[in-house]
Structure 1
Amino acid sequence: MDAGAEDAVFYSIYPGLPAGASDGDALIQLQRLRDDCLAVASPLVRGYIWQHAQFDLQPAARCDPGLPLVYGRTRYGHNLEDEWFVVYLLYEISRRIPGVYIRVWDSDGEFLLIEAAYAIPRWLKPENSQNRVFISQGSLHILPLPTSPAHVGLSLANPTLAEAVRVLSSGSVDTRASEGVQAAIGRKLEGYPERSRKNMHRVRCKVPLSVAQVLKHEPQLVALAVEAFYTRDHDAMAAASRMEKFLRGGQDEIVTVAVCLSKAMYAQLKQQVFQAPRIYPAEGQDDIGVKLACGFEMMYWERSNFQDEQAVGKTFRKGLEARGYFKDLLEGSKEHRQLLDAAFASYRETETFSRIREAMQVPAKRIDEILALEHKAEDFMNVDIPESDDDSWLYRGEDELTSAMQERQKEMDAHDKKSGAKTLAPVVEGEFDPSELTKTMKSFVDKISSFEGAEVPKSKIYFPVSMDLENFMQELKTALKLDNERAGDLQSGSSDSDSGEGIPLNCFPFESSDDDSKGEDDFMEEYSDAIQHELKNSSVSKTFAQPDVSRASGSASTSATATGDDNLHVDVDLNLLKNLLDSYSSQQGLPGPASNVLGMMGMQLPDDKEEHKRKTRRK
């Protein structure tokens, strides 16, 4: 993964060319395949504004020996919609162009499998999913684990790309994923390409004439302008203060236009507080227009000056710092400067630098070409300009998040029903028993958790975890110097709280055993005393709920304040119940951590009727 991989989606298209094809023949066929793929995608993306760059493909005849391909990468940044639009385009390409096999992934890996997590086979895990997931003929395909000699050429754990494509093209193995997997991906792609238009936002604003001219001929360049504005630094702000290119030092006329942005871009501009440069004319200080104009100025300055050390060094230096190249040297020091000069001199001689510089300067050169064309303010006057779209969606994020969580909950419920997991029983008046909640929580932690996490039970029968508990407890006993009695208590899952007793805060597993040396005894005793002293003088004890002294049935339930005992006692069950109820109440009926944990245990809390009454009265 290269720079920007954390917010990019990658894709490769394998045509299954005949073995033994020369590089020249392969490149010709790959170029033809690229043209065919873009011919499929172009009508679908017409008018769409990508967050960073347009969907594109490049041929590579020698990327993998014997496996030519066309590939691409699309940065989606803050606009996740771009990623799923790319997936939709790849599905369409696979439908309309026979014999191609497509891989798509991002920094999370096989994100299509993540989306279909409740439907994929249980054996499929991140460590064995590499080169197993493909898109072909409008469906998702998963190469299965070999179960017979018929699966010749397919490695058990990690098939190579060449092996995978060979198996797919042979048709000897049924690789089409289950209908549940297809449906999960289908839900994410539902509504495209019309859905992509809903991700656009049109805004009416005032901009300098030069900005209007560029947007008229290359509307996609608005993405680079927004990015430059959103990530601006001191040097970029200095360029914007002069506005030499897009305002001609304050001489350019101001015109009104309608600009199409992605919703993510509009939010990036709208939510930032920005003061217009002094050179900007007062009559043209439209909020979005000013930000767009300054963004174009910043972008043009960065791109056109990329050949200079000052501009290149800004990006290049960050890469060196991330690799620890400068160690602990102070920036600006003589040694720091010498290292930077040496690294930059070497970098400028590389082919990579030349290629990156050329690519970076393309937008600036295109802007020069557009502004060289004849244009005047009258071209943008007396034109019917639509009003701005309603931007109330900016303030509906909570509703959309709730809707998305509810959809995910439906998937979880369907999965639980299919797998036979316990469902939540309805709560009947007077049926809720707090003691049952604490017992169930202990059982959940003690019996179905392991070093791999907590497994949600499919029935009331708990499945054994895959670890040697006896050896584990022996190691734990040795490490903590526990005696046999305490280790036995730990292994059985018992504690003072099992009987409703309180646990004093100074009970730590550092008690010395009879077999320990006197030095170790002294150290552990002093260490325990030191910890107890710190806790005693802190406010930690005040964060625990204390049992009602007047209702306490035994001395173990009495607080230190009432008894005069320095060792504060805490009822673990009481605090567990209180924290769960507080968390559940704060969710206000929405999905949340408390309801999720209780749901996995097959429990459901009753509604807070008093809170409901208060809400009703307020309404």
Structure 2
Amino acid sequence: MDAKRGIEVIRADDFVEYFLFPSLDQLNGDNTAEKLENFRQNVNDSVQQFTVDYIWHKEPFQLVIRTPETARLFNECKIQDDLPPHLYGLTFYGENIQDEWYIVEIINHLTKIYPHVIGRIFDADGEFLLIEAADVLPGWANPDTCAQRVFMHNGRIIIVQNETTECETNAVLPVSVGLKRIREDVNLYESDAIMKCIEQRFVGTKKSTLLHRACIYLPISAALLLKQNPQLISYAVRAFCNRDEIDMKLCRAMKHFPPETRVFTQVTFTKCLYALLTYHNYKPSHRTGWNLPNEKSNTFTAHNLGMKIACGLEICASKVQNEQNDVENSKEWQIFTGQLKQNGYFGDAIEGSQEYTKRLDTAKQYFRILSQNHSTYIDAVAREIHEHLKDMSTLNEQFNDDILFDYDASLNDSEDWMNISQEDFDNMMTERYGIKKTLRCNTDETENDSSDLGMNLNTFLTQKSEFDGVDFRPLLKEESTGPTASSITQNTGNIDFNPDAFQAHLKDMLDFVIPEDNWDSHSDSMSDFDEENIERNIDITNPNTAATLSAYMEQMDRELAATTIGSSFKTNANASNMEDDEDFDDIESFEPVDIDVNAMKNLAESYKAQFGNHGPTSSLLSSLGVRLNTDKSSSTNDKP
């Protein structure tokens, strides 16, 4: 990993890393370690209250203390930034992206209740907060100018801007420098529009809408375990969905959760977990005792899902026998400690000494949280399952009222959210990306819509394309809070240089005018075509180029004259400005081509040819904020 990436240590596409930088002066304790530990406990208590009843898909929100000494544990990345002591966390959210946004909400919440704390969060995509708010960012904000400059403070998204004295506008800003500027309130940018985009992804009071409840037929030990710790459902579902051949052998034995003890109970899933479990097919062995009813039975889903959950819990419980409980006996730990020794983590400390043991214990703590496969979580789950299985009588007394002996369909939530129609999908896309207008095809109002589409297409074609693509946002006044390389704040005595304007003026001075097709901006604008301008521009170019262009035009006219392509264009027989068509008086019954209607027709035909799939037309129109609505009852010969 490039050293200038700073503190980013990403191991996969679905990891998220987060930091909490407190002001040590605001913390209680005799030394830095004690202050951070007290602060971590307070944060964990706040997070526990904030995340009550939330089911994590893979791993929960977690924090460890990180100081300059422990930073050397991150041997994968040679960090060139002297970070102040802080709390660090890394979470693998798996298939459920909602967990990542919930962590963003947690960090935002913590910066509100602890005003002295500055938060930072990123994932494999980098500054994904700005990606979410891309449509409302100022013009100077891009991945280069915002690298390592995005923080959270007092419940707000803060972007640390460049100082006017900095030589390299796009230089990666050290995080320590960014923290200092935030505390000093120097060159900061924040926007209500950015915060609104981020808050739309927050869970907040919508946590209940992410859950799905169902009446399941489970072994009684499994039912009691899920009542005692609802978070176990995520481990059970993922263990079942990620099973291998060795796990399948465990499911045939069912040592810990025999199917003969099944009872009905209501189980709470996240919608993501429920969908994963539902669409994973598995036919159990009849010798195990799984007597599933007919698929048409109203209790089949309860039996089928209960069997899958019990198998998942069986796999989890068996891991304690297959995985080494002691960290020192794992192969990964041996490799990890070897790398620490190579990087000089233990320094001059002698093996077995107090200093060596202290550093070794710290390394173990980090290894449990930052190891790539995170197998220690499986061990913890397995040990918890075994501890509760030893004391089932206590759980039975505690949750006896939640055990049902008859199937109750009223406990099932509706599964309509799993079936999305094309109309529902279009509405979701419209709500997400804000389609501005729906253009109609094969209707009497096509003429008006084609005119609107023509204006949108011309606007699109006249946009300036940079290396990053075309910017569809309207031109905005330059924001004084966003200095760039070509604009300096006023009253500094420096020159305000605009390279685009300079280039335009230079072209005008040289009279190097390239003809622009703005004459076809409207359906009746063919009459605005100025042939003299074209001829003048051809004459001032290289004579050889002018001759070649004229030859091409003549050859094209001869080839097209022998075809029927001209009759395929829609014309405007009722053109209102016929007096402007003097150049075509020698042509009998001349009718100018309606360019907008023809563009509408061609786009509609291309859209229909996509058969509802993604294609060039839908990509172009979606960029313009437009959606075509075709009338299926109309034939292809109808008016476009």
Would you call these one fold, judging by a TM-score over 0.5? yes
> Does residue 404 of structure 2 align to residue 361 of structure 1?
no
Q: 1:450 to 1:378 in 2, by over 3 A?
A: closer
Q: What letter is aligned with 1:580?
A: L
> Does residue 20 of structure 2 align to residue 13 of structure 1?
yes
Q: What letter is aligned with 2:239?
A: A
Q: Deviations along 1:459-510, whole A, 9 cap, x unmatched?
A: 8xxx89999x9xxxxxxxxxxxxxx999969x9999779967879xxxxxxx
Q: What letter is aligned with 1:188?
A: R
Q: 1:464 to 1:373 in 2, by over 3 A?
A: farther
Q: What letter is aligned with 2:16?
A: V
Residue 120 of structure 1, CA deviation: 1.5
Residue 213 (structure 2) aligns with: 202
Q: What letter is aligned with 2:199?
A: G
**Structure-1 separation of matches of 2:625 and 2:430:** 18
Residue 271 (structure 2) aligns with: 263
Q: Deviations along 1:274-329, whole A, 9 cap, x unmatched?
A: 11233432457701100101111223334541239xxx99999xxxxxxxxxxxxx
Residue 54 (structure 2) aligns with: 48
Residue 60 (structure 1) aligns with: 66
Two-structure CA RMSD over aligned residues (Å):
5.2
Residue 617 (structure 2) aligns with: 594
Residue 613 of structure 1, CA deviation: 5.1
Residue 484 (structure 2) aligns with: none
Gaps of 5+ in 2: 1-7, 72-80, 294-302, 334-362, 405-409, 476-499, 508-540, 570-595
Match of 2:318 among 277, 298, 301: 301
> Does residue 36 of structure 2 align to residue 30 of structure 1?
yes
| Residue aligned with 1:128, SS | coil
**Structure-2 separation of matches of 1:157 and 1:394:** 46
For 1:498-517, what aligned pairs fall within 5 Å after superposition?
A: none
Match of 1:169 among 165, 174, 183: 183
**Structure-1 separation of matches of 2:269 and 2:472:** 44
State the identity %.
Answer: 26
Q: Deviations along 1:121-153, whole A, 9 cap, x unmatched?
A: 22121123222111111111111121359x9xx
> Is the 2:265–2:403 Cα contact (8 Å) retained in structure 1?
no
Q: 1:413 to 1:314 in 2, by over 3 A?
A: farther
> Is the 1:405–1:591 Cα contact (8 Å) retained in structure 2?
no
Q: What letter is aligned with 2:433?
A: Q
Q: 1:359 to 1:227 in 2, by over 3 A?
A: closer
Residue 360 of structure 1, CA deviation: 3.9
Residue 371 (structure 1) aligns with: 389
Q: 1:136 to 1:449 in 2, by over 3 A?
A: closer
Q: What letter is aligned with 2:240?
A: F
Q: Which has the higher contact order (CA 8 A, sep 6+)?
A: 2
Residue 256 of structure 1, CA deviation: 1.7
**Structure-1 separation of matches of 2:49 and 2:235:** 23
Match of 2:193 among 161, 180, 203: 180
**Structure-2 separation of matches of 1:257 and 1:204:** 6
Residue 552 of structure 1, CA deviation: 9.1
For 1:182-581, what aligned pairs fall within 5 Å after superposition?
A: 182-189=195-202, 192-247=203-258, 253-283=261-291, 286-307=303-324, 358-375=376-393, 379=397, 383=402, 387-396=411-420, 398=422, 401-410=425-434, 429=445, 431=447, 448-449=464-465, 451-456=467-472, 458=474, 580-581=603-604
> Does residue 134 of structure 2 align to residue 143 of structure 1?
no
Q: 1:59 to 1:552 in 2, by over 3 A?
A: closer
Q: What letter is aligned with 1:275?
A: K
**Structure-2 separation of matches of 1:304 and 1:466:** 73
Residue 260 of structure 1, CA deviation: 1.0
> Does residue 172 of structure 2 align to residue 158 of structure 1?
yes
> Is the 2:119–2:153 Cα contact (8 Å) retained in structure 1?
yes
**Structure-2 separation of matches of 1:55 and 1:593:** 42
**Structure-1 separation of matches of 2:272 and 2:114:** 32
Q: What letter is aligned with 1:370?
A: H
Residue 68 of structure 1, CA deviation: 1.1
Residue 534 (structure 1) aligns with: none
> Is the 1:437–1:577 Cα contact (8 Å) retained in structure 2?
yes
Residue 107 (structure 2) aligns with: 90
Residue 23 of structure 1, CA deviation: 12
> Is the 1:255–1:381 Cα contact (8 Å) retained in structure 2?
no
Residue 454 of structure 1, CA deviation: 3.6
**Structure-1 separation of matches of 2:280 and 2:563:** 50
Residue 488 (structure 2) aligns with: none
Q: What letter is aligned with 1:54?
A: P
- The range that moved more, 440-449 or 399-408, is 440-449
> Is the 1:103–1:134 Cα contact (8 Å) retained in structure 2?
yes
For 1:108-123, what aligned pairs fall within 5 Å after superposition?
A: 108-123=125-140
Residue 110 of structure 1, CA deviation: 1.1
> Is the 2:320–2:382 Cα contact (8 Å) retained in structure 1?
yes
| Residue aligned with 2:288, SS | coil
Residue 14 of structure 1, CA deviation: 0.5
**Structure-1 separation of matches of 2:621 and 2:466:** 19
Q: Deviations along 1:353-373, whole A, 9 cap, x unmatched?
A: 887665542111111111111
**Structure-1 separation of matches of 2:426 and 2:626:** 22
> Is the 2:19–2:86 Cα contact (8 Å) retained in structure 1?
yes
Residue 112 of structure 1, CA deviation: 1.0
> Is the 2:14–2:94 Cα contact (8 Å) retained in structure 1?
yes
> Is the 2:440–2:446 Cα contact (8 Å) retained in structure 1?
no
Q: 1:229 to 1:282 in 2, by over 3 A?
A: closer
> Is the 2:56–2:231 Cα contact (8 Å) retained in structure 1?
yes
**Structure-1 separation of matches of 2:313 and 2:454:** 60
Match of 2:151 among 116, 131, 134: 134
Q: 1:455 to 1:465 in 2, by over 3 A?
A: farther
**Structure-2 separation of matches of 1:433 and 1:402:** 20
**Structure-2 separation of matches of 1:237 and 1:497:** 75
> Is the 2:436–2:625 Cα contact (8 Å) retained in structure 1?
no
Q: What letter is aligned with 1:390?
A: S
**Structure-2 separation of matches of 1:497 and 1:266:** 67
**Structure-2 separation of matches of 1:384 and 1:22:** 47
